[in-house]
Chains A and B, each alone.
Chain A
C-alpha cells in the first residue's frame, strides 16, 4: 500500500530475477527465453523504486517514460492506470521492455544502482505492457480532432511506427509505406522470436492501426512511388527506412555456399519462418558448426539462432575482448548459458571452401588490443604470423549495416553525409522542406529506443510544421 512502506524497507528488497526457460531446453526451441514477471514479482520489484523527486532514470530514457509514476502505480496495484501512463510516453512498450539496452539507458542512472542494483525498469515495463496487450479493451485512447493534414511515413520499423502513433494522436491522417509484406522493420525480420515474439509486434501494430494509422505493405519508395511523388500527395513526409544494407568483410571466399549476411540469415529464419521448414517454404542452411563474425546484438541473435537450428557448435568470432562486446549484457549472458563459444581477439582473413565450393573453414588471425581508436575503444592489432583455420560449415557475417541507397538514389537533392545517411537536424528536418527523417537512416545502425525517440521528437516537429503550412 502507498505510504505504508518506508524507504528503509524499500532498500532492503533485492532485485527480482526474471523467470526464464532453462538454458538446455531453450537452446533447442524458438520460444521466448524470458517468461515475464508474475504479479508478485512485479509488486516486489516496483516497491524497490524510491520514487525520487528528481528521477534521474527518466533522463536516461530517450522517450522520457515517466518511470517513477508508472512504477508507483504498479506498486499501488493500479495496473490499468500504470498502462495508460506508460502508453502515453512510449508507443511500443512491450517491445522496448524486451529489447532496450536498459543497462546503458534508464537503469544505469537509477540511484539504486549506486549502492546495490538498479530497479528492473525494463522488466516492469514489460510486465505492464503485457497486461495492456491482454486488456486493450480496458484502455482508452485519446485523439485530437482531425486536422485534415496528410502525412506519409516511409518504413514501419520502430521509428516509423512511433511517429505514426504520435501523429494520428495529434489528429493527422497517417499512411505508412513498408517495402516488405509485414510491418515492423528489424523487429520482424531481424530480432528473433526467442527474444521478441512476432505475435507481440503484430499486436502492437494492430493497436496503432485501430488508433487510425494506415499501413500499406509491399510499397518500395524509390521504386513503387518516388519521394517527389510522396511530397506532392502529402503535406509532410517522414523517412524512417532504417540501415538495411549488409556490410561484407571483403575477404576471399565470401561468395562460397554457406556464407550469409546476418540480414539474410535472420530474415530467412524470422520473417520467412525457415525454422519451420518444410512447413514454411523458405529454407535456411543448417550447419554443424556455425561461425558468426561480429559482437553486437545482431551477432548474438545469429549465433543463438544457429544453436537453435541444431548446430553442434555455434561460435562468435570477435576481434576485441568480452569487455568491448557491444551487445546487450543480458544477451551475452544468455548466449553463454546456452553453450555459445566465444573466439575473442580473432579476425577472419579468408573463407575456405572445398572443391564443391561449400564452406569448410574460416582462416583467422589473432589480435591484441592496442591504442584506443576514435570511439575510445582499444584498437585491435594483428599479431603477425598468428594465422590459423577455424573449421566451420556456415559463416554468418554480422559486422554491421549501412544506409541502403535505394530510396536516396532517386532523390538527389536530399542531403546525405559521407556514409550515405540522411542529414537531419535536432528536430528531424532534412534539407528538403516538409521532409523529415529519423532512426537508423540518420544515425547509422543504433537501437530501437533511439529510433523511437527520433520518431517521437520528429512527430512533434512535424506537427509544428503542419500547423504553419
Chain B
C-alpha cells in the first residue's frame, strides 16, 4: 500500500499527489514512469514520476482527470492509500551534457517535462522552458521550472504570458539558434506540431509517447507504437523516442480505440455516485 501524504490542486483538472514509494523515490530518473493500480478491479494506468523526495520516500504524481481511473485516483485524500505502484519503468531520458536545451510542456505534459529539466540543469545544461495552457489557471509547474532556467508561458486566450500556442514561442526560440536538443511532452497534436517545426531545422527532438498500457514490462504489446517504420513497445523501449520518426497518426488513432468503453465506464461511475448520494448514510 502506498499512502498519500499530500494532495494539491494545480489547475482546474490537474492534481498533484505525493505518495509513499521509498524505493522508487530513491532510484527513479527523469523520463521514467510508474504503473498505478488504485485497488482491486481498477485499471492499471501509467503516470510519469514528476518529482521525488528520496529522504521522505515519496514520489509526486501529477494527474489530469480525464476518465474513470484518473478521477478515482484524485478522489483519494491524504492518509488514504493506493494499492499498487510499480516502477520505475521505461528508459531514463537521453540527456545532453552541455549546451542549451529547449523543454516544451503542454498541459499536464509540463509535469513530465519538469524532471527532464531538473536532470539537464543538474548537468549544467542551459534550460529554456516553454509551457502552455488554455488560460492562466491551467498553467502548472511554472515556479518549479523557473528555478531551473528561463520560462516562457503561453496561454491560448492571452490571459497570462504570451498569447498563442507553445509552438509559436518555440519557433522564435529556435530561430535564435543555439538549441542543441528539444524535449516536447504534451497532447499528441502538440508534439506533432513541435516535430514539424524541428524536423526541417534538423534539431534532435525527444517526445514522450502515451499509448494505452497494461503491464508496463513488455509482456502484452498493447503499447506498441511505430517509430522509424519499426514497431516498438513504448513501456520498455520508450516512453521517449526520437520524435522525427514517430507515426503520430497511428498513435492518435490507437488512443481512440476504447472511447466508447471509456464513456460507458464514466457514465456508470457517475450513476453509482448519484445512487450513493441519494442513499441515507
7 nearest interchain CB pairs? A283-B261, A264-B220, A244-B219, A218-B86, A261-B221, A181-B84, A246-B221
Interface range, B side: 35 or more
Contact B68 A181 (CB under 8 A): no
Given A224-B27, A244-B219, A406-B217, 4 further pairs, Cβ under 8 A: A244-B217, A273-B41, A282-B43, A283-B262
Contacts of B85 in A (CB 8 A): 218
Known contacts A248-B231, A278-B264, A279-B41: A255-B226 contact under CB 8 Å? yes
Contacts of B27 in A (CB 8 A): 224
A283 to B254, CA, bound (A): 14
How far is the CB of B265 from the nearest CB of chain A, in Å? 5
Q: Which of A260, A267, A277, A281 has the most CB of B within 10 A?
A: A281
A264 to B220, CA, bound (A): 4
Contact B24 A224 (CB under 8 A): yes
Q: Which of B86, B226, B262 has the most CB of A within 10 A?
A: B86
Q: Which residues of chain B from 231 to 259 have a CB within 8 Å of any chain A CB? A: 231, 236, 250, 253-254, 256-258
A179 to B85, CA, bound (A): 10
User: DSSP class of A's interface residues: helix, strand, loop or mixed?
Assistant: loop
* B74 in contact (CB, < 8 A): no
User: DSSP class of B's interface residues: helix, strand, loop or mixed?
Assistant: mixed
Q: Which of A223, A246, A277 has the most CB of B within 10 A?
A: A223
Contacts of A278 in B (CB 8 A): 261, 264-265, 268
Contact B253 A257 (CB under 8 A): yes
Contact A245 B89 (CB under 8 A): no
How far is the CB of A461 from the nearest CB of chain B, in Å? 28
Interface string of B58-83 (1 = CB under 8 A from A): 00000000001100000000000001
* A404 in contact (CB, < 8 A): yes
How far is the CB of A282 from the nearest CB of chain B, in Å? 5
Contact A285 B257 (CB under 8 A): yes
* A327 in contact (CB, < 8 A): no
CB within 8 Å of A: which residues of B?
23-24, 27, 37, 41-44, 68-69, 83-89, 214-222, 224, 226, 231, 236, 250, 253-254, 256-258, 261-262, 264-265, 268
Interface range, A side: 35 or more
Contact A255 B250 (CB under 8 A): yes
A246 to B222, CA, bound (A): 10
Contact B268 A180 (CB under 8 A): no
Q: List 21 A-B contacts (CB under 8 A).
A: A181-B86, A217-B84, A220-B87, A220-B89, A223-B87, A223-B88, A223-B89, A224-B86, A224-B88, A245-B219, A248-B231, A255-B250, A255-B254, A261-B222, A264-B221, A273-B41, A281-B68, A283-B261, A285-B257, A405-B218, A406-B217
A405 to B254, CA, bound (A): 25
Contacts of B68 in A (CB 8 A): 281
Contact B215 A179 (CB under 8 A): yes
Known contacts A272-B43, A281-B68, A282-B43: A181-B37 contact under CB 8 Å? yes
Interface string of A253-267 (1 = CB under 8 A from B): 011011011011001
Known contacts A261-B220, A281-B41: A268-B214 contact under CB 8 Å? yes
Q: Which residues of chain A from 231 to 247 have a CB within 8 Å of any chain B CB? A: 244-246
Known contacts A224-B88, A281-B42, A281-B69: A244-B257 contact under CB 8 Å? no
Contact B220 A267 (CB under 8 A): yes
Q: Which of A181, A245, A261, A268 has the most CB of B within 10 A?
A: A181
* A374 in contact (CB, < 8 A): no
Contact A406 B218 (CB under 8 A): yes
A283 to B247, CA, bound (A): 25
Contacts of A180 in B (CB 8 A): 86, 215
